[in-house]
């Protein structure tokens, strides 16, 4: 049972790390949104979004979890876009 507890503690640490990274990403998204709004630029840039996914796909091309990583990132990106619509 100790091994299971250790694994759960590791998951807890990873969850906190992920949450901090998501928070950091959302703050940067807010900064980008504010910058683009102030400059009168389009907030959504599909070319940039595709470039971002291409980079991640390439970075994790040898990963057994590439599809899952891309899927989670798409959820985060979609949430960021929806959040900006509501603000």
**Ramachandran region, residue 44 (left: φ > 0; alpha: ψ -120 to 50; beta: rest):** beta
- Supply the CATH number for residue 32's domain: 1.20.59.10
What does the buried/exposed string (b/e) look like for 29-43 if buried means 16 or more CB atoms within 10 Å of the residue's CB?
beebbeeeeeeeeee
Range(s) of the domain holding residue 31: 2-86
In this prediction, residue 1 carries a pLDDT of 72
Q: What is the pLDDT of residue 85?
A: 72
The angle formed by the CA atoms of residues 36, 39 and 40, to the nearest 5 degrees, is: 80
Other Cβ atoms closer than 10 A to 26: 14
Provide the whole-model pTM. 0.85
pLDDT, one tens digit for every residue, the chain (87 residues) = 799 999 999 999 999 999 999 999 999 999 999 999 999 999 899 999 999 999 999 999 999 999 999 999 999 999 998 887 765
36 neighbors 30 (Cβ within 8 angstroms):
no
Q: What local confidence, expressed as pLDDT, does residue 83 receive?
A: 83
> What is the total count of domains within the chain?
1
Contact 52, 76 (CB under 8 A): no
**Lookup result for tokens 């790390």:** 17
């Amino acid at each position: 049972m100790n091994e299971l507890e250790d694994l759960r503690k590791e998951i807890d640490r990873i969850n906190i790390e992920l949450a901090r990274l998501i928070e950091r990403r959302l703050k940067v998204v807010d900064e980008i949104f504010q910058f683009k709004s102030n400059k009168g630029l389009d907030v959504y840039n599909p070319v940039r979004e595709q470039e971002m996914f291409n980079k991640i796909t390439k970075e994790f091309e040898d990963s057994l979890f590439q599809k899952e990583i891309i899927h989670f990132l798409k959820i985060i990106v979609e949430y960021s876009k929806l959040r900006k619509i509501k603000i």
